C-alpha cells in the first residue's frame, strides 16, 4: 500500500511565541506570563461566576499569517471547555467585533481537555482569548502562533546612514513576503486574492529582493486564464494594462524567453484590444470599471488623466514584449498608438498620482510638475499604492531627497503608529491624537484603525498588511543604490547611485546569476562606489 500525496505546498509553518501580554481581565486569569515561553507551566482561565469576561490579549510582536495553536494539558474535570478566539491586526480589533469579510478571524471553539488544537488562518499580530464556559476552567500551557510563509532568501538588501529608511525598507520587504502565499495576495487578512493591477509594486519588490519566484508567474497566469479577452482583468481596464507592466519587468529582470513565449497569443490579442480603445486623436476611451486607485475613485478628471498616461505606458510595455518575441508588426502598432496617445491633451488635474503617471509617460515636464505639484504639501494627496509611481516621478525629476523625505514622513508615519507591515491606506492626517495599533483604545483619543479608512477599507475592515504599499523597498534599491537591469536577465545592468542627503548606502539586488552587492560613500569629490560582489555573466554598463 502506498500513500497518495497531493500537491506539495512550498510554504512552511513555524511556531512563534507571543512577546507580551497586552491586557487581562480583572479576575480569572492566573500566570499569563507563562505563555511567553514554551514549557509545562500554564496560564489558567477560571470561570468568573458572574457576567464579567475572563480573557487576555497576546501580542506576537509583528504581523503574521496563519493561526494559533493552543496546548491544553489535563484539567480537573476532563471535559472540553469553550473559548472565543479573536485575531486582529490591532489591539482595538481584538477588543471589538472583528470584520470577518473574506476570511474569518473570530472563532468560538471547544478546546480539548488534554491535547492541542490549531485555529484560524488569517493575518494578525494580536489574539484575544475569552473563556466562554461557565463551569470548566482551562489551562493553556502554550499559545504560539502557527506562522505560514514561504522560506525565501532575501537576495536583495539595503542599508544606509538613515535608520528610519532602513526600517522602512525592511518592513516593505516583509510586507510583500507575507503576501506571497499560494498566489501573490493583496493582503493576508482581507483580499487574499489576485488583483492584478495591485500586483505591480509587489512584483517590483519580488524582482529586487527575492528574484525569480514561481508565485509571480502563477499569479499572472491566473489573471490571464480567469479573465479571457475581450474582458478586462478583475473587470478593471487599467488592470489589464498593468498586467503588461508586470510582464515587462519580469522579462527584463529574468530574461525567461520560454515563459514570455507562453504569453504570445494573449499578448497579441491584448495589444489589438487596447489599440481599439484609442481614437484617431489619441484619446483613450476605455470601458469597464474606469479606475486608478481608491483616493481618486470619485474624481473623473483625475481618472481620465491617469488612464491616458497608463495607456501610453502600457502600450510601450507591450511594444517591448512584442519586439522580444519578434512580433514586429504588433510592436509597431503598439508604439505608434502610444505616440499618438502621448500627444493627446486631457482636462488638467492637480491630483499628484495622475500627474505622476503623466510624467512617467513623457506627457509632462518632470521638473516643472515636481516643483509646482509634487513639492506642494508633499506628504498629502498620495496613497500607499500609487505613492510608488509618485516616487518614480520624483526620481525622474532628479528630486531624490524629496522622494526620500516622502518615504520618511508618509511610510514612516505608519511605523510611528505601531506598524510592522504597511497598510492598505494611510493619511498623515490620521495621526494627531490617535492611539497606535499596539495600544489599548483610550477614551478621548482617536483609534487609528477603527476610526479611519474609506471606500473599501473603512474601519476594522482596513487591511494593515497590503503588498501594494511596499513600493519604497524597490525604489530604494533602484534609485538610491542605483541598481537595475538594462537588458533582459541582467546581461547588462546599471549602477547609478543617488544618495540625496545620505552619507552612505550599501546593499544588493537579486539577479538570475546571484546578487550584485555595492557600497556607496559620499566624499569631498563626489560618491565613491565599490562593487563588493558581482557574479559572472553580469556586465555593469559604463
pLDDT at 118: 93
b vs e for 14-38, b when ≥16 Cβ sit within 10 Å of the residue's Cβ? eebebeebbbbbeebbeebebbbee
434-435 vs 446-447, strand pairing mode: parallel
Residue 146's φ and ψ, nearest 5 degrees, are -95, 95
pLDDT at 135: 81
Residue listed under C-alpha cell 487574499: 192
Which helix H or strand E contains 244, and what residues bound it? helix 237-254
- Which residues are paired to 85 by β-bridges? 107, 129
Which helix H or strand E contains 474, and what residues bound it? helix 471-475
* Regions of the chain where pLDDT drops below 50: none
Half-sphere exposure of 389 (CA within 13 A, CB side): 28
pLDDT at 39: 81
Residue in 237, 242, 250 with CA at minimum distance from that of residue 284: 237
Helical segments of 181-227, H only? 199-209, 215-226
pLDDT at 5: 66
pLDDT at 45: 92
Half-sphere exposure of 519 (CA within 13 A, CB side): 6
pLDDT digits (tens, 9 = 90+) for 430-448: 999 999 999 999 999 999 9
pLDDT at 130: 95
- Cβ neighbours of 298 (radius 10 Å): 10
pLDDT at 486: 97
Q: For residue 60, what are the CA distances in angstroms to 109, 142, 281?
A: 21, 13, 57
Please provide the CATH number assigned to the domain covering 157-485: 1.50.10.10
pLDDT digits (tens, 9 = 90+) for 453-511: 999 899 999 999 999 999 999 999 999 999 999 999 999 999 999 999 999 999 999 99
Asked if residue 159 lies in contact with residue 505, where contact means CB atoms within 8 angstroms, the answer is yes
pLDDT at 116: 87
pLDDT at 80: 82
Asked if residue 322 lies in contact with residue 271, where contact means CB atoms within 8 angstroms, the answer is yes
pLDDT at 75: 66
- Domain 12-149 classified CATH 2.60.120.260? yes
- Which residues are paired to 64 by β-bridges? 124
Q: What DSSP character marks residue 7?
A: P
The CA distance from 474 to 65, in Å, is 22
pLDDT at 103: 77
Burial class (CB in 10 A: 0-12, 13-18, 19+), 161: middle
Amino acid at each position: 500500500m502506498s500513500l497518495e500525496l497531493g500537491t506539495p505546498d512550498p510554504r512552511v509553518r513555524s511556531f512563534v511565541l507571543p512577546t507580551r501580554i497586552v491586557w487581562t481581565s480583572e479576575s480569572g486569569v492566573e500566570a499569563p506570563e507563562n505563555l511567553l515561553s514554551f514549557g509545562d507551566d500554564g496560564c489558567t482561565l477560571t470561570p468568573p461566576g458572574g457576567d464579567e469576561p475572563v480573557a487576555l490579549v497576546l501580542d506576537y510582536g509583528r504581523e503574521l499569517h496563519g493561526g494559533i495553536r493552543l496546548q491544553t494539558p489535563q484539567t480537573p474535570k476532563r471535559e472540553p471547555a469553550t473559548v472565543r478566539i479573536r485575531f486582529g491586526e490591532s489591539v482595538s480589533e481584538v477588543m471589538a467585533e472583528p470584520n470577518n469579510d473574506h476570511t474569518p478571524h473570530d472563532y468560538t471553539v471547544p478546546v480539548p481537555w488534554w491535547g492541542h488544537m490549531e485555529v484560524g488562518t488569517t493575518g494578525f499580530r494580536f489574539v484575544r482569548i475569552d473563556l466562554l464556559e461557565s463551569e470548566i476552567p482551562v489551562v493553556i500551557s502554550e499559545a504560539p502562533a502557527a506562522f505560514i510563509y514561504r522560506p525565501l532568501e532575501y537576495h536583495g538588501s539595503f542599508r544606509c546612514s538613515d535608520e528610519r529608511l532602513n526600517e522602512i525598507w525592511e518592513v516593505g520587504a516583509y510586507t510583500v513576503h507575507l503576501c506571497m502565499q499560494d498566489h501573490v495576495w493583496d493582503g493576508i487578512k482581507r483580499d487574499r486574492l489576485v488583483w492584478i493591477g495591485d500586483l505591480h509594486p509587489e512584483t517590483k519588490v519580488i524582482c529586487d529582493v527575492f528574484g525569480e519566484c514561481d508565485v509571480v508567474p502563477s499569479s499572472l497566469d491566473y489573471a490571464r486564464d480567469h479573465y479571457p479577452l475581450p474582458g478586462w482583468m478583475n473587470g478593471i481596464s487599467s488592470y489589464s494594462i498593468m498586467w503588461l507592466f508586470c510582464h515587462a519587468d519580469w522579462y527584463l529582470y529574468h530574461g525567461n524567453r520560454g515563459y514570455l513565449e507562453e504569453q504570445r497569443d494573449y499578448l497579441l490579442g491584448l495589444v489589438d484590444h487596447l489599440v481599439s480603445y484609442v481614437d484617431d486623436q489619441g484619446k483613450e476611451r476605455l470601458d469597464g470599471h474606469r479606475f486608478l486607485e481608491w483616493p481618486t475613485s470619485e474624481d473623473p478628471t483625475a481618472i481620465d488623466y491617469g488612464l491616458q498616461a497608463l495607456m501610453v505606458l502600457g502600450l510601450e510595455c507591450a511594444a517591448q514584449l512584442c519586439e522580444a518575441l519578434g512580433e514586429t508588426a504588433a510592436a509597431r502598432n503598439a508604439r505608434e498608438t502610444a505616440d499618438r496617445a502621448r500627444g493627446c491633451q486631457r482636462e488638467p488635474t492637480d491630483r499628484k498620482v495622475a500627474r505622476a503617471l503623466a510624467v512617467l509617460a513623457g506627457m509632462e515636464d518632470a521638473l516643472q510638475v515636481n516643483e509646482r505639484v509634487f513639492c506642494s504639501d508633499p506628504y498629502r494627496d498620495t496613497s500607499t499604492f500609487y505613492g510608488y509611481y509618485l516616487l518614480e516621478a520624483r526620481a525622474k525629476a532628479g528630486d531624490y531627497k524629496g522622494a526620500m523625505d516622502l518615504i520618511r514622513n508618509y511610510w514612516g508615519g505608519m511605523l510611528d503608529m505601531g506598524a510592522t507591515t504597511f497598510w492598505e491606506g494611510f493619511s498623515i492626517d490620521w495621526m494627531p491624537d490617535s492611539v497606535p495599533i499596539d495600544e489599548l483604545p483610550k477614551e478621548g483619543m482617536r483609534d487609528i484603525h477603527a476610526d479611519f479608512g474609506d471606500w473599501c477599507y473603512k474601519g476594522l475592515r482596513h487591511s494593515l498588511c497590503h503588498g501594494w504599499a511596499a513600493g519604497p523597498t524597490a525604489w530604494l534599491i533602484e534609485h538610491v543604490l542605483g541598481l537595475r537591469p538594462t537588458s533582459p536577465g541582467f546581461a547588462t545592468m546599471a549602477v547609478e547611485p543617488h544618495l540625496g542627503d545620505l552619507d552612505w548606502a550599501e546593499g544588493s539586488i537579486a539577479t538570475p546569476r546571484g546578487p550584485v552587492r555595492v557600497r556607496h560613500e559620499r566624499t569631498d569629490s563626489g560618491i565613491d562606489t565599490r562593487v563588493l560582489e558581482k557574479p559572472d555573466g553580469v556586465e555593469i554598463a559604463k
